Amino acid sequence: MNIRDYLDVGATFGGALLALGLVLLLAPYFPGMDLGSIKIPQFSQDVRMRLKWIGPLAPILAVAFHVPFP
């Protein structure tokens, strides 16, 4: 059982969290980039500076959402 199952949300929601985590991770470094179905928005310089610290946490939390626990 993982957190996604415990909260009773679908796998699609988990995939959306992973995509959002990827966008937040890449946003400070590749603003305006198009990765097919994922488009990275352009943020102000202040927001990009904050995302350099917060951005790496988003995919880690999204993956932890899928990891099974006992």
For 13-29, what is each residue's pLDDT tens digit? 888 999 999 999 999 99
Check: CB of residue 4 under 8 Å from CB of residue 14.
yes
pLDDT of the residue at 38: 86
pLDDT of residue 52: 93
CB 21 within 8 A of CB 58: yes
DSSP-assigned beta bridge partners for residue 38: 35
The pair phi, psi for residue 35, each rounded to 5°, is: -110, 45
State which residues of the chain have pLDDT below 70.
none
Question: Can you tell me the distance from the alpha carbon of 59 to that of 65, in angstroms, rounded to the nearest whole number?
Answer: 10
Q: Is the pTM of this model over 0.85?
A: no
The residue to which tokens 């994922």 are assigned: 38
